[in-house]
Chain A
Amino acid sequence: MAKPLASIVSAGLSKFGKREGVSGRELFVEAFKEAMERCPSLDPRKDIQALIIGQMSESFEHQCHIAPITSDWAGLLPTPAVRTEVACASSAAAIRYGVLAVMSGVYDVVLVGGVEKMTNRTTPEATEYLGMAADFPMEQWNGVTFPGLFALMATAHMHKYGTTEEQMALIAVKNHHNATLNPKAHMRKEVTVEQVLNSRMIAWPLKLFDCSLISDGAACAVITRPELARKFTDTPIQIIGSGHGSDTIGLYEREDLTSLMAVYRAASEAYKMAGVEPSDIDVAEVHDCFTIAEIMAYEALGFCKPGEGGRLIEDGVTTLDGSLPVNPSGGLKAKGHPIGATGAAQLYEIYLQLIGEAGDRQVDGCEVGLTQNLGGSGASCLIHIYRRD
């Protein structure tokens, strides 16, 4: 395994859900307070030298310029702050550029994270704002939605590989179960395959329970240069790989609609940098914005061969007691998907798993973890690989 790029010395997560009356900046402070409580030897104003925060859309709260706001509300001013945006992968981008910032030597300690406030809007409004991450002139213009884009991939995957609606439903069943074990999850409720299959149609073949939740939430992490990590904590988690892939914004321009090339590209970079293989991963948080996306992630991450993602969930490999638990947190599906917070929330879960504080959903003995955060219909993907020190 490669030497660490950077170390995580603390992390925090707000409660996810319909957080009525709580604004984005307040959600971020909630996550920030947890990160500070976990790391008493860190003096926030003295030690944190920059804040990089992901947010997808200013439309929800009619509020741009979130970075200095969160720096101010966290009591960090005059700490400089900047926002990263690559749709749903916005906060994984914050993590990557935070890692690069400490690697550059310019900063010793950086706060990274993300936030999105969404439930103050109606479903059609939220659908429209989320749709803005799709291509305007050809896709939005013709009436596509995000569930619609993933439905196009699901239809193609079903046609090419025989993937079934039942296999997609099993992803929802697994992730809902995991969320019942996560006190911060948005929806802590078991669902059955029948319930998923009989739920309201959103974009055929995707039904309500194939879709992730519209949630409010925030997440953050403190990262530092590896040689400084022990100054702040006895249990640093090392970031050993980081990968970033891009693809066409238009789904229609991609040669193969059943493969997410940005994920393959990011995975190849991250695995190479980390010096690990897919078989070395003990636990992963992947981008299950729709059930088909988790199946396609298995394939692109090398957890199985192309076309065999449906079989992998059917065989129980990725359940909490399987050989490769995926989305122990409940995933975007049931923990919730406050867009800009998702990448950092994935990191938070892997951090808890690797320090052994994941409670009832703890994956025993895990040492190497992975997060995969997808932007839009796959024009961006960021992947990070972590290990216990």
Chain B
Amino acid sequence: MDEEKPLTIEQFYKFIGEKRLMAVRCEGCGALFIPPRTICNRCLSKDLEWVEVKNRGKLITYTVIYVPPVQFQSMAPYAYGIIQLEDGPRIPGMIRNVEPGDIEIGMELIVDFEEEKDGEQEQQGRQGWPRWPRYFFRPP
């Protein structure tokens, strides 16, 4: 069924709305990509397909943002980092449910999914932005 879903960023966020973290795998070289692409940037294969990846990873680097863009003003300060998923790809996102002082490079984080209701509230003030569901990182 997933094979028929388009390899688009829009579809990636539809999966996020279903609480599934999905990557695309290159059938040519095995590379995994988040968000999806339709040409592998390593081997140039055009044969890619959706695969579900484990929602666990390790923190590669992080920051705490005190001066946010207009759309995120009510949330500041917030922690933001890049995690390396157990299955390989790296993704960026907000780190929640942990004090900034307790954040450390190398710590284990899981990818969690916002409830749709929260997402809708957050959309206020984001004129012209897509209405995508959200993921975030938190300690297991």
Binding site for B on A (CB under 8 A): 123-125, 127-128, 131, 137-145, 147-148, 151-156, 159, 200-206, 250-253, 257
The answer to whether B69 and A152 touch across the interface, beta carbons within 8 angstroms, is no
Chain B neighbourhood of A201, CB < 8 A: 64, 66, 77
| Interface contact B105-A159, CB-CB below 8 Å | yes
Q: Which of A142, A154, A205 contacts B92 (CB 8 A)?
A: A142
| Top-6 shortest CB links A-B | A151-B63, A204-B64, A156-B61, A143-B72, A252-B92, A128-B69
Chain B residues within 8 Å of A, Cβ to Cβ: 9, 12-13, 34-35, 60-73, 75, 77-78, 80-82, 90-94, 100, 105, 129, 132, 134, 136
Least CB separation from B64: chain A residue: A204
* Contact of A156 with B65 in the complex, beta carbons under 8 Å: no
CB within 8 A of B61: which of A131, A145, A152, A203? A152
Contact among B9, B60, B69 for A127, CB-based, below 8 A: B69
> How far is the CB of B98 from the nearest CB of chain A, in Å?
14
Given A250-B92, A252-B92, residue A140 in contact with residue B69 (CB < 8 A) = yes
Which one, B60, B66, B136, contacts A202 given CB within 8 A?
A: B66
Within 8 Å CB of B60, what residues of A? 156, 257
CB contact under 8 A between A152 and B81, given known A137-B9, A257-B60:
yes
Are the C-beta atoms of B94 and A142 separated by less than 8 Å?
Answer: yes
Give the Cβ gap from B7 to chain A, nearest Cβ, in Å: 13
CB-defined contacts of A128 to chain B, threshold 8 Å: 69-71
For the complex formed, measure the closest distance between the CB of B26 and the CB atoms of chain A, giving whole angstroms.
14
A139 with B65: CB separation less than 8 A? no
Task: Specify which of B67, B81, B93, B136 is in contact with A145 (CB 8 Å cutoff).
Answer: B67
Query: How long is the Cα–Cα vector from A201 to B78 in the complex, in angstroms?
Result: 12
Chain B residues with CB below 8 A from A145, complex form: 65, 67-69
The one of A131, A154, A253, A257 that contacts B69, using a Cβ cutoff of 8 Å: A131
A123 to B67, CA, bound (A): 9
A155 to B60, CA, bound (A): 9
- Tell me the complex Cα distance, A127–B13, Å: 25
8 Å CB contact of B70 from A125, A151, A203, A251:
A125
| Cβ-neighbour of A203 out of B9, B35, B66, B92 (below 8 A) | B66
The chain A residue with its CB closest to the CB of B35 is A137
Residues of A within 8 Å of B62, CB to CB, are: 152, 155
Tell me if A203 and B90 are in contact (CB < 8 A): no
Contacts of A147 in B (CB 8 A): 65, 67
* Given A202-B66, A204-B66; A138-B61 close (CB under 8 Å): no
